[in-house]
Copies of this chain bind each other. A is one copy, B any other.
């Protein structure tokens, strides 16, 4: 796999710019007052399919040659990447084979099916997911699009920070959550290319802190039994992602579950934005470390808004 650079992000933006939403950047004086910093929220919860994942999936799907695209694309995912890939494939008019664990929430099965994804259910283990996908790929010839450990996916995710910095070129810090590292690696590439002095700081739930531990150790340490309400961040960091993150990210901060819920509730109540818990992780880091971020101008990527409205944590 090629290590992506900012030129790939520029190309991705040219390719997908007419398909994705150029999401708004919102501010909130109350939350600024509470944190003592000036925050600029890039609203990827308002992106198509409800998450930044659509950028990467779109870039991956539309970067395929016609020959590569002939048999469609495939992935295993129980989350936002599955819906994003299914929708991107439908826009190109090719099939998307999605392997989902049989215990995936109904709401996620419905989302993938609603976007036209062809679902195959498997046992809820990583092994079963991978075996099932490889079996389907062997039968159908689909191109497998990994959710984050993929050059074009990373380049696509980097377009969110690019848009943010084009509007606000004087930020001190850009923050985003980290799970598999697709958003963080793309964000870091954009930020360091556009504003070398701007710091990139990721936030991670302390119950799923493999990126934090890998970053500090200098080598990849996978998650074992991660547990957090931020269900988008349960995955372990990818290799390509770790390579980019270890060279371009300034720090990773871990946060408590309580702060994630507090941050989420603040954004719902004060900003009127529906975000999923993963999106609240950077704000949680600010709430837990107010002195460190005093008077800074900080861009925050709100990663997604896909949440079961019947099952809110507040």
Using a CB–CB cutoff of 8 Å, the interface residues on chain A facing chain B are: 21, 24, 26-27, 29-30, 45-46, 48, 50, 114, 265, 268-269, 271-275, 305, 309, 312, 314
Complex A-B: 25 CB contacts under 8 Å: A21-B26, A21-B27, A24-B24, A24-B26, A24-B46, A26-B46, A29-B48, A30-B114, A45-B272, A46-B272, A46-B273, A50-B272, A265-B309, A268-B274, A268-B309, A269-B309, A272-B273, A272-B274, A272-B275, A272-B305, A273-B273, A273-B274, A274-B274, A309-B312, A309-B314
Q: How far is the CA of A50 from the CA of B28 in the complex (A)?
A: 11
Q: How far is the CA of A24 from the CA of B265 in the complex (A)?
A: 22
Closest 5 pairs between A and B when the two form their complex, measured CB to CB: A272-B305, A24-B24, A272-B274, A45-B272, A50-B272
Give every chain B residue within 8 A of A48 (Cβ-Cβ): 29
Give every chain B residue within 8 A of A265 (Cβ-Cβ): 309
Give every chain B residue within 8 A of A309 (Cβ-Cβ): 265, 268-269, 312, 314
Give every chain B residue within 8 A of A50 (Cβ-Cβ): 272
Q: How far is the CB of A168 from chain B (nearest CB, A)?
A: 15
Q: How far is the CA of A265 from the CA of B24 in the complex (A)?
A: 22
Q: How far is the CA of A271 from the CA of B274 in the complex (A)?
A: 9
Give every chain B residue within 8 A of A272 (Cβ-Cβ): 45-46, 50, 273-275, 305
Q: How far is the CA of A121 from the CA of B265 in the complex (A)?
A: 29
- B29 & A271 in contact (Cβ 8 Å cutoff): no
